[in-house]
Amino acid sequence: MFRILFTLFILIPLLEIYLLIKVGGTIGALPTVLLVIFTAVLGALLLRHQGLFTYARVQASLARGELPTLAMLEGVVLLISGAMLLTPGFFTDALGFLGLVPPLRQWLILKLLQGGMIQTMGPASRHHHPHDGPRTLDGEYRREDDL
């Protein structure tokens, strides 16, 4: 896991620098900077809209007495997408915008759940180790009102 994260932290900034240089060479430096700022602002507006909509879905699920598992996981994806949109660059912006598309976001969450990459907190998803057996609590009991 460390190697994957380390590789991503090296390769993604290199890719972003490469893309910024290529786009800047094609349309110029100032339009490139303005485009990066525009995508960040647009992403923040879309993120706000999607976040409020997801929050309303969480509230509606709770009002019905249901656990809003999918909506909460969507909130996590929105948080990560927002961080990507605020990171300067075109590659992270593209990934961030993909996280703002509800069908793509839900598909990603379902794939991660099916693949075991994320787990819900229900009793069926808790890990049980073979060496975990019954637990015995030892203690003493004394009733105070029988004195």
Mean of all residue pLDDT scores within the chain: 86
3-state helix, strand, coil in the chain (%, to 5): 75, 0, 25
pLDDT digits (tens, 9 = 90+) for 81-128: 999 998 889 999 999 999 999 999 999 999 888 887 776 655 444 444
Average pLDDT over residues 33-45: 93
pLDDT digits (tens, 9 = 90+) for 127-146: 445 555 566 767 777 778 76
* Per-residue model confidence (pLDDT) at position 131: 56
More confident site: 64 or 129: 64
Using N-to-C axis directions, what is the helix angle for 90-99 and 102-114, rounded to 10°?
A: 90
Q: Look at residue 55 and tell me whether its pLDDT is greater than 60.
A: yes
* Per-residue model confidence (pLDDT) at position 114: 87
> What distance in Å separates the CA atoms of residue 95 and residue 81, rounded to the nearest whole number?
7
* Per-residue model confidence (pLDDT) at position 84: 92
- The model carries a pTM of 0.71
Q: Which residues contact 112 (CB under 8 A, 6 or more apart)?
A: 118
